[in-house]
Amino acid sequence: MARIELLALTAFGLEALAARELQDLGYEEVEVQNGRVSFVTNEEGICRTNIWLRCAERVVIKMGEFPARSFEELFQQTKALPWEEWLPVDARFPVSGKSVRSQLYSVPDCQSIVKKAIVERLKDTYGVSWFEETGALYAIQAAILKDMVTLTIDTSGKGLHKRGYRSLAGDAPLKETLAAAMVYLSHWKADRVLLDPFCGTGTIPIEAAWIAQKRAPGLQRDFSAQSWLSIPEKYWIKAREEAADLWNRELPLHIYGSDSDPNALRLARIHIQEAGLSDKIFFQKLPVKEVKSRFRYGSIITNPPYGQRLGTQEEANLVYQELAGVFQQLGDWSLHMLTPHPKPEKFIKRRWDKSRKLYNGRLECHYYQFFGPRPPRKEQIIE
């Protein structure tokens, strides 16, 4: 099998988490970059990483990277790459592009030149002058940053946040990749209680449950590279069998969600059913100020209203005050909250222990963490 350089593309702030996931999967040649993580694997690795990565947006093959300040340089260096190693004669290969602070700033022109260069390369390989493009999809992207061109082929298809359980979406949904990152950063474990008092359509509780169960997020979805001749079906079968074997379906969990929106909870209950978690996660309709727990230790992991797209800032401030009251009442719990608010400590009445910049879509937020005491080791679930 070939050595292939891949890129796991991520939202800003999630690169280190995706790198850790890759290392946990056994990949050693891992390098963190802005918005992406590069790593070296083989054809089997394309299957495994698409199925297992929770914090990456997609997995792409890095075909080449080079400087280009003229259209001629872009054409010649694109044509020099071994596109025939991946693209069969009937491949569909649309080209998308983006350009940031580069002399080649016309994205449509760059896309057209990259497409033409690939066609010329494939003409020499296959001895044909016209390509029908009726076969499998090989989506190509030309990304230019400060005159440095990176050419990739997408292996994922739909973004990796599309797990398959959220067929219906509510207002201002939290992306699954970001929800998984919030759970990872909280260091929550399955032997502790987890509560999301603004659960919405259930994304954080579901991602937490799948992490605890070691349930691969891509186990039951399809990927573009599944239809590629260069990746034998046996590799996909093997990767899915590995994931199915590691899935601990019977693991007992204490995961709870609440929300004041009955429509959001209706969707949440549908989503946990689609995720196979109907008997693992429990929801109730409840305003945040009424949230209580019989458990002494636990973690609140939540994405409260921002007062920007939903409601007003005054309403959001009131919600933060009520959340602070709940947190203080719970006593020995930890609080992990994602918000664009610059000073949540004025509501919580204490300095945060950790803060990390993350992006919810294009909105800059911070993930504030207020740690409670550690529960006794022998008995984590204490009522």
pLDDT for res 345: 87
Beta strands in the chain (DSSP E): 4-9, 30-33, 36-41, 58-67, 95-100, 140-145, 148-154, 194-196, 255-259, 281-285, 299-302, 334-339, 354-360, 363-370
Q: How many residues does the structure list for the chain? A: 383
Distance CA(193)–CA(374), nearest Å, equals 13
Contacts of 92 (CB under 8 A, 6+ apart): 133, 134, 135, 136, 137, 138
The pair of structure tokens assigned to 255 is 């995961």
Contacts of 19 (CB under 8 A, 6+ apart): 30, 31, 32, 37
- pTM here is 0.94
Distance CA(138)–CA(274), nearest Å, equals 29
3-state secondary structure of 188: coil
SS3 content of the chain, % helix, strand, coil (to 5): 35, 20, 45
CA 309 to chain centroid: 22
CA 325 to chain centroid: 32
Q: If we measure between CA atoms, which residue out of 55, 146, 145 comes closest to residue 358?
A: 55
For the chain (383 residues), the mean pLDDT of every run of 10, in chain order, is 91 97 96 96 98 98 98 98 97 97 96 98 94 97 97 97 82 86 97 96 97 97 96 97 97 97 94 96 96 95 78 79 94 95 88 95 94 76 61
- Cα-based angle 324, 330, 333 (whole degrees, multiple of 5): 95
pLDDT for res 383: 58
Q: Which amino acid does the sequence have at 227?
A: S
Contacts of 221 (CB under 8 A, 6+ apart): 158, 162, 163, 164
Distance CA(40)–CA(27), nearest Å, equals 7
Q: Which amino acid does the sequence have at 54?
A: R
Beta strands in 291-353 (DSSP E): 299-302, 334-339
Torsion, CA 176, CA 181, CA 336, CA 358, rounded to 10: -90
Distance CA(78)–CA(89), nearest Å, equals 18
Domains of the chain: residue spans and CATH: 4-154 (3.30.2130.30), 176-215+240-245+252-370 (3.40.50.150)
